[in-house]
A and B are shown apart, each in its own frame.
Chain A
Protein backbone atom coordinates (compact mmCIF):
# COMPACT_ATOMS: atom_id res chain seq x y z
CA UNK A 1 0.00 0.00 0.00
CA UNK A 2 1.41 3.42 -0.89
CA UNK A 3 2.41 5.59 2.03
CA UNK A 4 3.75 9.00 2.88
CA UNK A 5 7.39 8.97 3.94
CA UNK A 6 9.34 11.57 5.87
CA UNK A 7 13.02 12.13 6.52
CA UNK A 8 14.76 12.43 8.85
CA UNK A 9 12.84 10.74 11.64
CA UNK A 10 14.64 12.88 14.21
CA UNK A 11 16.53 16.14 13.72
CA UNK A 12 18.45 17.95 16.41
CA UNK A 13 19.54 21.49 15.65
CA UNK A 14 20.81 24.57 17.44
CA UNK A 15 18.71 27.66 17.85
CA UNK A 16 19.10 29.98 14.88
CA UNK A 17 20.00 27.23 12.43
CA UNK A 18 18.05 26.43 9.30
CA UNK A 19 16.38 23.05 8.94
CA UNK A 20 14.71 21.34 6.02
CA UNK A 21 12.21 18.59 6.67
CA UNK A 22 11.48 16.31 3.76
CA UNK A 23 8.39 14.43 2.71
CA UNK A 24 7.49 12.17 -0.18
CA UNK A 25 3.69 12.24 -0.55
CA UNK A 26 1.71 9.45 -2.18
CA UNK A 27 2.45 9.64 -5.87
CA UNK A 28 -0.95 10.46 -7.38
CA UNK A 29 -2.01 12.89 -4.67
CA UNK A 30 -2.27 16.57 -5.50
CA UNK A 31 -2.80 18.35 -2.18
CA UNK A 32 -0.09 18.41 0.46
CA UNK A 33 -0.04 19.57 4.03
CA UNK A 34 2.26 20.18 6.97
CA UNK A 35 1.08 19.91 10.55
CA UNK A 36 2.95 20.07 13.81
CA UNK A 37 2.37 18.60 17.24
CA UNK A 38 4.14 20.12 20.19
CA UNK A 39 4.70 17.49 22.87
CA UNK A 40 1.49 16.83 24.77
CA UNK A 41 -0.58 19.18 22.65
CA UNK A 42 -3.01 18.85 19.77
CA UNK A 43 -2.04 18.53 16.13
CA UNK A 44 -2.02 21.96 14.47
CA UNK A 45 -2.31 22.85 10.81
CA UNK A 46 0.58 24.79 9.32
CA UNK A 47 0.13 25.01 5.57
CA UNK A 48 -1.52 23.44 2.54
CA UNK A 49 -0.01 23.33 -0.94
CA UNK A 50 -1.61 22.73 -4.32
CA UNK A 51 -0.47 23.28 -7.86
CA UNK A 52 2.92 24.53 -6.73
CA UNK A 53 1.63 27.22 -4.45
CA UNK A 54 0.39 27.71 -0.92
CA UNK A 55 -3.39 27.43 -0.81
CA UNK A 56 -3.87 28.08 2.90
CA UNK A 57 -1.70 28.78 5.92
CA UNK A 58 -2.18 29.27 9.62
CA UNK A 59 -0.94 32.11 11.79
CA UNK A 60 1.84 29.78 12.97
CA UNK A 61 3.27 29.72 9.44
CA UNK A 62 5.14 33.02 9.57
CA UNK A 63 8.04 34.32 7.48
CA UNK A 64 10.42 31.84 9.11
CA UNK A 65 8.64 28.99 7.35
CA UNK A 66 8.55 28.10 3.68
CA UNK A 67 7.45 25.12 1.63
CA UNK A 68 8.57 23.86 -1.70
CA UNK A 69 7.98 21.04 -4.11
CA UNK A 70 11.39 21.01 -5.81
CA UNK A 71 10.63 18.06 -8.05
CA UNK A 72 7.78 15.70 -8.83
CA UNK A 73 8.07 13.72 -5.64
CA UNK A 74 9.50 15.70 -2.71
CA UNK A 75 7.68 18.23 -0.56
CA UNK A 76 9.82 20.18 1.89
CA UNK A 77 9.28 22.41 4.90
CA UNK A 78 12.06 24.86 5.68
CA UNK A 79 12.46 26.72 8.93
CA UNK A 80 14.92 29.55 8.35
CA UNK A 81 16.08 30.34 11.85
CA UNK A 82 14.85 27.84 14.40
CA UNK A 83 13.63 28.82 17.84
CA UNK A 84 13.26 26.68 20.94
CA UNK A 85 9.49 26.77 20.51
CA UNK A 86 9.79 25.14 17.08
CA UNK A 87 10.59 21.87 18.84
CA UNK A 88 7.75 19.56 17.86
CA UNK A 89 6.77 16.59 15.76
CA UNK A 90 6.15 17.70 12.18
CA UNK A 91 3.79 15.67 10.06
CA UNK A 92 3.39 15.74 6.32
CA UNK A 93 0.10 14.63 4.79
CA UNK A 94 -1.36 14.23 1.33
CA UNK A 95 -4.92 13.85 0.25
CA UNK A 96 -6.53 11.31 -2.02
CA UNK A 97 -9.86 11.14 -3.79
CA UNK A 98 -11.83 10.31 -0.66
CA UNK A 99 -10.91 13.50 1.21
CA UNK A 100 -8.96 11.60 3.83
CA UNK A 101 -5.47 12.83 4.56
CA UNK A 102 -2.73 10.24 4.75
CA UNK A 103 -0.04 11.14 7.24
CA UNK A 104 3.62 10.33 7.28
CA UNK A 105 5.36 9.00 10.39
CA UNK A 106 6.61 12.45 11.34
CA UNK A 107 9.93 14.16 11.98
CA UNK A 108 10.76 14.97 15.56
CA UNK A 109 12.55 18.33 15.60
CA UNK A 110 14.51 19.20 18.71
CA UNK A 111 15.92 22.72 18.94
CA UNK A 112 18.59 23.21 21.59
Chain B
Protein backbone atom coordinates (compact mmCIF):
# COMPACT_ATOMS: atom_id res chain seq x y z
CA UNK B 1 0.00 0.00 0.00
CA UNK B 2 1.13 3.50 -0.72
CA UNK B 3 0.92 6.48 1.57
CA UNK B 4 1.91 10.13 1.59
CA UNK B 5 2.70 12.34 4.56
CA UNK B 6 2.86 16.09 4.26
CA UNK B 7 4.51 17.66 7.26
CA UNK B 8 2.80 20.88 8.24
CA UNK B 9 -0.83 21.41 7.38
CA UNK B 10 -0.16 25.17 7.32
CA UNK B 11 2.98 26.98 6.20
CA UNK B 12 3.37 30.74 6.31
CA UNK B 13 6.13 32.63 4.50
CA UNK B 14 6.81 36.24 3.68
CA UNK B 15 6.65 37.42 0.11
CA UNK B 16 10.06 36.88 -1.48
CA UNK B 17 11.07 34.17 0.99
CA UNK B 18 11.89 30.56 0.21
CA UNK B 19 8.97 28.17 0.04
CA UNK B 20 9.57 24.62 1.28
CA UNK B 21 6.68 22.16 1.45
CA UNK B 22 7.56 18.71 2.71
CA UNK B 23 6.36 15.41 1.35
CA UNK B 24 7.38 11.90 2.35
CA UNK B 25 5.99 8.81 0.73
CA UNK B 26 5.98 5.08 1.10
CA UNK B 27 5.63 2.76 -1.83
CA UNK B 28 6.43 -0.88 -2.45
CA UNK B 29 7.20 -0.18 -6.10
CA UNK B 30 9.15 2.62 -7.82
CA UNK B 31 6.84 5.54 -7.33
CA UNK B 32 5.46 8.18 -9.61
CA UNK B 33 5.21 11.39 -7.61
CA UNK B 34 3.19 14.51 -8.21
CA UNK B 35 2.49 17.90 -6.73
CA UNK B 36 -0.88 19.50 -7.33
CA UNK B 37 -2.06 22.98 -6.37
CA UNK B 38 -5.63 23.88 -5.48
CA UNK B 39 -6.71 27.51 -5.43
CA UNK B 40 -9.85 28.38 -3.44
CA UNK B 41 -13.00 26.88 -4.95
CA UNK B 42 -11.09 25.42 -7.88
CA UNK B 43 -9.92 22.02 -9.03
CA UNK B 44 -6.50 20.42 -8.85
CA UNK B 45 -3.80 21.72 -11.16
CA UNK B 46 -0.66 19.71 -11.81
CA UNK B 47 2.48 21.58 -10.73
CA UNK B 48 5.05 18.93 -11.55
CA UNK B 49 5.68 15.21 -11.73
CA UNK B 50 8.47 12.69 -11.17
CA UNK B 51 8.35 9.54 -13.28
CA UNK B 52 11.84 8.02 -12.82
CA UNK B 53 13.74 10.39 -15.07
CA UNK B 54 15.74 13.30 -13.62
CA UNK B 55 15.54 13.50 -9.83
CA UNK B 56 15.22 17.30 -9.86
CA UNK B 57 11.95 18.18 -11.49
CA UNK B 58 10.95 21.65 -12.61
CA UNK B 59 7.33 22.61 -12.75
CA UNK B 60 5.14 25.57 -13.48
CA UNK B 61 5.18 28.92 -11.69
CA UNK B 62 8.85 28.54 -10.64
CA UNK B 63 8.32 25.48 -8.44
CA UNK B 64 10.63 22.51 -8.39
CA UNK B 65 10.92 19.29 -6.41
CA UNK B 66 13.70 16.83 -5.77
CA UNK B 67 13.16 13.09 -5.54
CA UNK B 68 15.38 11.58 -2.84
CA UNK B 69 14.99 7.82 -2.74
CA UNK B 70 17.15 7.36 0.36
CA UNK B 71 14.93 9.77 2.29
CA UNK B 72 11.68 8.72 0.54
CA UNK B 73 11.02 12.41 0.08
CA UNK B 74 9.74 14.69 -2.67
CA UNK B 75 9.81 18.18 -1.17
CA UNK B 76 8.50 21.13 -3.13
CA UNK B 77 10.46 24.38 -3.24
CA UNK B 78 10.32 27.82 -4.75
CA UNK B 79 13.12 30.34 -4.24
CA UNK B 80 10.91 33.40 -3.85
CA UNK B 81 7.27 33.32 -2.77
CA UNK B 82 4.67 35.46 -4.48
CA UNK B 83 1.31 36.47 -3.11
CA UNK B 84 -0.34 34.49 -5.92
CA UNK B 85 1.25 31.28 -4.57
CA UNK B 86 -1.17 31.24 -1.65
CA UNK B 87 -3.13 28.00 -2.11
CA UNK B 88 -3.38 24.41 -0.91
CA UNK B 89 -0.69 22.06 -2.15
CA UNK B 90 -1.10 18.30 -2.40
CA UNK B 91 1.59 15.70 -2.85
CA UNK B 92 0.46 12.44 -4.42
CA UNK B 93 1.95 9.06 -5.30
CA UNK B 94 0.94 6.40 -7.77
CA UNK B 95 2.46 3.31 -9.32
CA UNK B 96 2.70 3.67 -13.08
CA UNK B 97 -0.39 5.69 -13.65
CA UNK B 98 -2.85 3.96 -11.39
CA UNK B 99 -4.89 5.59 -8.67
CA UNK B 100 -3.37 8.54 -6.89
CA UNK B 101 -2.89 8.50 -3.15
CA UNK B 102 -2.85 12.02 -1.78
CA UNK B 103 -1.29 13.55 1.27
CA UNK B 104 -3.35 15.65 3.62
CA UNK B 105 -2.37 18.89 1.94
CA UNK B 106 -0.45 21.96 3.04
CA UNK B 107 -2.04 25.37 3.03
CA UNK B 108 0.53 27.96 2.02
CA UNK B 109 -0.01 31.48 3.23
CA UNK B 110 2.11 34.34 1.89
CA UNK B 111 2.47 37.48 3.98
CA UNK B 112 3.16 40.81 2.33
A interface residue numbers (CB < 8 A to B):
31, 33, 35, 41-45, 48, 56, 58, 91, 93, 95, 98-106
Given A42-B105, A98-B51, are A103 and B99 neighbors across the interface (CB < 8 Å)?
no
Question: In the complex, are the beta carbons of B99 and A33 less than 8 A apart?
Answer: yes
The 10 closest A-B pairs by CB, nearest first: A99-B97, A105-B43, A103-B44, A43-B102, A45-B99, A42-B104, A103-B43, A106-B43, A100-B49, A42-B102
Per-residue contact bits, chain B 83-106, to A (CB 8 Å; 1 contact, 0 not): 000000010101011111111110
B interface residue numbers (CB < 8 A to A):
32, 34, 36, 42-46, 49, 51, 90, 92, 94, 96-105
Complex formed: what's the CA distance from A45 to B93 in Å?
A: 12
Using Cβ atoms and an 8 Å threshold, which residues of chain B touch A99?
32, 49, 51, 94, 96-97
Least Cβ distance of A23 to chain B in Å?
11
Least Cβ distance of A52 to chain B in Å?
18
Using Cβ atoms and an 8 Å threshold, which residues of chain A touch B100?
33, 35, 43, 45, 93, 101
Least Cβ distance of B87 to chain A in Å?
14
Question: In the complex, are the beta carbons of A43 and B49 less than 8 A apart?
Answer: no
Complex formed: what's the CA distance from A42 to B98 in Å?
A: 18
Using Cβ atoms and an 8 Å threshold, which residues of chain A touch B98?
48, 56
Least Cβ distance of B25 to chain A in Å?
14
Least Cβ distance of A10 to chain B in Å?
10
Complex formed: what's the CA distance from A104 to B45 in Å?
A: 9
Complex formed: what's the CA distance from A103 to B49 in Å?
A: 14
The 8 Å CB contact of A42, one of B42, B96, B97, B103, is B103
Given A91-B44, A99-B49, are A31 and B97 neighbors across the interface (CB < 8 Å)?
yes
Question: In the complex, are the beta carbons of A43 and B44 less than 8 A apart?
Answer: yes
Given A43-B44, A43-B90, are A48 and B99 neighbors across the interface (CB < 8 Å)?
yes
Question: In the complex, are the beta carbons of A98 and B44 less than 8 A apart?
Answer: no
